[in-house]
Structure 1
């Protein structure tokens, strides 16, 4: 459903050109992916570990022991949420973030699977619930594209172009914050969708009352990813395993280039790279328990 709705907008063109886009009233039922009660259930029934649930204020994580109690079962201790404490913290301006909602919530999993097939890249879904105008994160950028779907309430988004072309962590100048006059602003209401390509600076604040939105992280492979994968492939090539000549003269450069060419000039290079990437993703296939594939036994 999400893919069909995006196809009614200019998203495909914006995605191909890596240009931001705002698509108003795109989602007929934005809560079809995740509802308010789902958020409460996910927080209540999952361990309070940073990989899954975080509570933040202005970009800083609030210690788990501020809103949890330690429970022990079978010799294993774990933090369980205390609703009274968590409600107070959230009412005071904190944001609760649920990472990887598509791993634990079927409607998001199905939509993420369809989106992955449509845009040919990895997709991960996070949920952000806030209850005041304070931002959960300060101005920042991500190393992946972001697709925002507003589910409940309104949210003010401030965003600006990347500081350098095609930024990645560690790139010179990538973390230089934009000038104030480069900042843009828009308000999202339920059903609106915002697309921000990799590297675009952004922050978000609820404008009135509570707010719930989903971010669909779209991780597109880069040439840097290809080069990193080629380094693991190089061990299969004798010329790449050979010692380089001493020095930096023309002969040494020629040997180095020939070794690299031997790795690059192999059949179906990009196809194998794509299959490698596919194997690194979240397995969205349906788990079949042994007895579910057998006919019911007579009793």
Structure 2
């Protein structure tokens, strides 16, 4: 398995017990086989020959001009301090797509893969957090990572990223990590991080893996219930013209919610539901990193 190669002499059981979904982990040299997946040649081909989404950002400032269509234009902006962020690069490159599919198959989750080309002495975004479990593979140069546990919104989802509180309110210690080519870093979802390329230009692959959440279970059940006559029925009138008193409205809804909750409980107790949900989420994860797939824009990170 890819994860075993990446972990090297660290047992997989240790990774899951002590790090995955919990604590960052950096490993030296074990991602050396991935270095050729992301080079300047890869970035230039994606810019010039594909419609790959390209974001340019310099120390938190997003470039407001038109997308460069040539490597020369992109390189000129890079020389001015802008990081080139090729979003969903796996949709346009077979090697990157295979990396995304393997991580999704082994850990299960939808893939949000990005290629970063960062100029020396600069960073892309400031302190921020991502909802995904993030795997960073360094392929050129070096990067410095500052990491900090998020106690204010520890398990964000995409919808709640805008609710991110001010990191200055954190009292957790800052950890530091340096990646060289062939190294990799795991950052748990929600963890604050700040990234710079200190003294030389850097290229890295960022794979965000979004595992299923309990909210996905609700979406899964809704897809089954949408054609149910019981769940399509209109609820008791709540307006001022309702013949029910406030106490009667409350009792009607309390009884209704109790019945609906019981139905949901019976559905969730059926082992076939768990099997179907597992199969659907696995399929969605594998499809999320596929050549030629039109990708909705994800929140920036």
Structure-1-length-normalised TM-score: 0.79
Q: Say whether residues 1:177 and 2:178 are aligned partners.
A: no
Equivalent runs, 1:242-261 vs 2, <5 Å: 242-245=233-236, 247=248, 249-250=250-251, 252-261=253-262
**Structure 2 stretches of 5 or more lacking a match?**
238-247, 293-301
RMSD: 2.8
Q: Which moved more, 1:135-144 or 1:7-16?
A: 7-16
Residue 36 of structure 2: aligned partner: 32
Q: Which moved more, 1:53-62 or 1:187-196?
A: 53-62
Looking at structure 2, the residues matched to 37 and 284 of structure 1 have their Cα atoms a distance apart, in angstroms, of 21
Residue 183 of structure 2: aligned partner: 192
Looking at structure 2, the residues matched to 46 and 102 of structure 1 have their Cα atoms a distance apart, in angstroms, of 11
Residue 142 of structure 1: aligned partner: 130
Looking at structure 2, the residues matched to 126 and 28 of structure 1 have their Cα atoms a distance apart, in angstroms, of 18
Looking at structure 2, the residues matched to 249 and 82 of structure 1 have their Cα atoms a distance apart, in angstroms, of 64
Secondary structure of 2:178 counterpart:
strand
Q: Say whether residues 1:228 and 2:222 are aligned partners.
A: no
Which residue of 213, 224, 233 corresponds with 2:204?
A: 213
Q: Say whether residues 1:94 and 2:82 are aligned partners.
A: yes
Structure-2-length-normalised TM-score: 0.79
The higher-RCO structure (CA 8 Å, 6+ apart) is: 2
Which residue of 3, 6, 15 corresponds with 1:11?
A: 15
CA, structure 1 residues 222+43, in 2 after alignment: closer, same or farther (shift >3 Å)?
same
**Structure 1 stretches of 5 or more lacking a match?**
69-79, 288-299
Deviation at 1:242?
Answer: 3.0
Secondary structure of 1:214 counterpart:
strand
Secondary structure of 2:182 counterpart:
coil
Residue 45 of structure 1: aligned partner: 49
Looking at structure 2, the residues matched to 64 and 195 of structure 1 have their Cα atoms a distance apart, in angstroms, of 33
* 1:21-63 deviation per Cα after TM superposition (whole angstroms, max 9, x unaligned): 111222233413222311121112123xxx6111111233213
Residue 164 of structure 1: aligned partner: 153
Equivalent runs, 1:108-119 vs 2, <5 Å: 108-119=96-107
* Structure (1 or 2) with the greater helix fraction: 2
Q: Which moved more, 1:4-13 or 1:106-115?
A: 4-13
Q: Which moved more, 1:132-141 or 1:242-251?
A: 242-251
Residue 292 of structure 1: aligned partner: none
Secondary structure of 2:123 counterpart:
coil
Q: Report the count of equivalent residues.
A: 271
Q: Which moved more, 1:27-36 or 1:99-108?
A: 27-36
The question of whether the paired residues in 2 share the 8 Å contact of 1:237 and 1:262 is answered with no
CA, structure 1 residues 16+89, in 2 after alignment: closer, same or farther (shift >3 Å)?
closer
The question of whether the paired residues in 2 share the 8 Å contact of 1:152 and 1:211 is answered with yes
Residue 275 of structure 2: aligned partner: 271
Residue 54 of structure 1: aligned partner: 55
Residue 243 of structure 2: aligned partner: none
Deviation at 1:86?
Answer: 2.7
Q: Which moved more, 1:91-100 or 1:242-251?
A: 242-251
Residue 240 of structure 2: aligned partner: none
